[in-house]
Structure 1
């Protein structure tokens, strides 16, 4: 994915200052200087500051008490973790690093990619054995050159049987071979009796420099004399805004009556691009609030409204469809700006959400350095610690947030390993469900599918769910 270096400029520098602590800085011992940075930074920027008593401005009566508090936390990491609000349910995403150079490299897109994306599941009847399913193959990549295809199943990497302890490390190799397997559902809807058998084909994948186009697939489908636009969009990346606008220009020229926006694998990105996409879907709400970015009480003067617009950032006129209803496909990989899209649009038009429950993350993050204004310039040369805390949250026009548990779909229909289908094909299960609802076949009453557990094999890491602001 094309991310460049903009991820470290998620918010406009807001004149951060440590001035209120300057009188006591000389009393901070050298051994706790990093912990001093952690506490003061979190005291200024952390979104959930008001929920953490130890971050209150009047928490310490003296410098000695503050020093004792820092000393009571063995490491900077321990202190940071102690300042996180409800790690299990609310803030699952803030983290600290001891090497911001590595973090910057990850966020700048300086990574290798073989063009394949996978979902992983526990083998039925086991508690530790794992198998993978190919969910996407990107064009012009190592995976596409090797003729890997969506829906293929594998149970070994480099001839090593996958389990819960090894599959992540095996995927980290720059080159590896997948041993394809056979998935047998025993001709039943029950998952517990499904079986995985070894196959006889091996596919080798090699990671290389690769730029992903987030516009993965588009189509116009004829349904009952009406035209339905379909778009699988996998990341909100502003470099592709003009190309996205061309897609909507085509939808508009073909006079589509319905739109299916597939965000099932979209884990976030640019707030500005999300606002532009919302404006393409609608068009009748010019200059009204699409979403509001809210900071903590210390920084609330930086709260900002993103309004529906008729132009892109380059002044290109937006192709708007003026729809009053949209279908959005989601999964447990839909996060951040994708969830913001659902939450913001539903306060204006009807949103029919089909698929799985989303991640539950609509907050923005920012790399925080040990410097006078918490920016990269003049960062303390004595260490390379940095923070990536949640600093703001998006709300819709009704001041509603995305629940930490995620957004529950209108139609709960999860991808099954036995039938992933082909993206864009009218028989692909999630797209088919949307088309059936458009045709009025009462898909809303369709029974929920049960996802294979545990779901946490496919949990997104914090870097995959970043929401950023140009």
Structure 2
């Protein structure tokens, strides 16, 4: 009995002690005001923004004191308002988020998605819209439900898609059903096939499709790669291991839906394609005039995964030519493949002009300069910035491609004839095969060019971002 009382007293004392400690910690955490968060936004952009010189308020002598700066920031109702006001008009890609966990998950390849990647396109014969499935993420709800590339749908949950539809709300729902349709060249007709889809948290492997084909004495490798996510660099290297073991002589690199990601992964991918340029310049990273003297950095071809020499050996093909498929959805780190390799090998770019994104970013938390690192972050909020901090310049000095990089062979995707990725039923893949085999192209280019009203990737936090790592 005495022992039970003693044990009870010890337990009670422990609970009280824990409660006291918790209260002390809670007392130390004070929720930041909007102006205080706006001040973080200001400090981060003042220190790192690539286009700092375009914004007079970001000049180092813009305010005589911290109090004057605070008075300036108090005019903004929210940190988002301050952020938009302090961005350069040239800056299309910097972002501010209220919860850094979202961005950290996105950087790790974790997304909430049905797994269906699609475009909503204007119907040329009406005010209606229709959806076309571009591809389906492997092992996703959409893949399980039987969604396939090339499927068309004109309604969601039984409601027709029109130019008045709230597309963000429709496709942001936790679950919805697409109503499939057939197209006869003039009109769409619902065909009675409906596919219910649910959103799920996915850890997306961007190595979407790998194949090797023997044609006329050529061994042709095909890679559909959807994002430069460094957590999957091993899988990317394994794909090139397959190519190398198969004796691949020619490569089709399909980046048509790749919005970018890690600069280091882009560097490694270029080495996988080549391998004969160890130590030579890949790109130079140039910062704003305040930061550049201490931070300008030249990345070089390196035959090991990662930035050092102690990573796994890269599987290289030692190619002198590569076929690269692009569209307007090809951006940032994807464009680095084109830019970074052009001084060294021949690139036959097939498709349409890329986005035009040569700037890179890294996360800034509300912490002291220069690092703004998470471990020192203010606990009073979870805001984080991913601002443009550098521009990439290739070994020939090529940069500032605001209007994108144009293809050698221009072919648009035909929403009504997409074919299978990596197979010659896909006109863009067919064009790559024609180039490799020296054949005259017989691709039918007589089809309507349709305007896109919405891209599913637009809701991706890292859509068209280039990440410094």
| Superposition TM-score tier, normalisation by shorter sequence | 0.7 to 0.9
Whether 1:177 aligns to 2:180 is no
CA 1:67/1:291 → structure 2, altered by over 3 Å: closer, same or farther? Answer: same
Distance 1:287 1:280, change over 3 A: same
Indicate the residue corresponding to 1:26 in structure 2. none
Equivalent residue, structure 2, for 1:250: 242
- Identify the residue that residue 217 of structure 2 maps to in structure 1: 225
Deviations along 1:109-168, one digit per CA (max 9) or x if unpaired, are: 5543332211220111334x2211111123333222222211000111111212343222
Taking the aligned partners of 1:448 and 1:297, their CA distance within structure 2 comes to 49
Number of the residue aligned with 1:4: none
Q: What is the DSSP-based 3-state SS (H/G/I as helix, E as strand, rest coil) of the residue aligned with 1:316?
A: coil
Aligned residue number for residue 465 of structure 1: 464
- The aligned residue for residue 295 of structure 1 is 287
- CA drift at 1:328: 0.3
Q: CA deviation at 1:460?
A: 3.3
Deviations 1:60-92 (A, max 9, x none): 345565455334545433332122222xxx421
Q: More displaced, 220-229 or 378-387? A: 378-387
CA 1:225–1:138: 2 relative to 1, 3 Å: same
Q: Does 1:306 align with 2:299?
A: yes
- 1:347 and 2:343 matched: yes
| 1:183–1:196 Cα contact (<8 Å) kept | yes
SS of structure 1 residue aligned to 2:290 = helix
In the superposition, the TM-score normalised over structure 2's length comes to 0.84
Quickly say closer, same or farther: Cα 1:457–1:280, change in 2 above 3 A.
closer
TM-score normalised to structure 1 length: 0.83
More moved, 321-330 vs 105-114: 105-114
**Is 1:241–2:233 an aligned residue pair?**
yes
- Contact 1:46-1:389 within 8 A present in 2 as well: yes
Q: Could you tell me which residue of structure 2 aligns to residue 156 of structure 1?
A: 155
Aligned twin of 1:114 = 114
**Bigger Rg over Cα:** 2
SS in 2 for 1:460: helix
User: Secondary structure of the residue that 1:377 maps to in structure 2?
Assistant: helix
Identify which of 358, 374, 377 aligns with 2:375. Answer: 377
Contact 2:431-2:443 at 8 Å conserved across structures: no
Distance 2:76 2:202 in 1: 42
Which residue is 1:51 aligned to?
A: 54
CA distance in 1, matches of 2:440, 2:194: 43
Match of 2:79 in 1: 76
C-alpha distance in 1 between matches for 2:211 and 2:385: 42
> Kindly tell me: are residues 43 and 34 of structure 1, through their superposed partners in 2, closer, same or farther at Cα, counting changes over 3 Å?
same
Q: Which range moved further: 149-158 or 117-126?
A: 117-126
Match of 1:319 among 315, 325, 349: 315
Q: How many residues are aligned here?
A: 430
Verify: 1:366 aligned to 2:365, yes or no: no
Secondary structure (helix, strand or coil) at the match of 1:209 reads strand
Correspondence for 2:42 among 39, 42, 56: 39
- Give 3-state SS (helix, strand or coil) of 2:113's partner: coil
Give unpaired runs (5+ residues) of structure 1.
1-28, 186-193
State the alpha-carbon separation in 1 of the partners of residues 374 and 320 from structure 2. 44
| Deviation, structure 1 residue 352 | 1.0
Q: Check whether the contact 1:119–1:133 (CA below 8 A) recurs between aligned residues.
A: yes
Q: Which piece of structure 1 moves more, 377-386 or 306-315? A: 377-386
In the TM superposition, residue 107 of structure 1 has moved relative to its aligned partner by: 4.6
TM-fit CA distance, 1:330: 0.9
Contact 1:413 1:448 in 2 (8 A): no
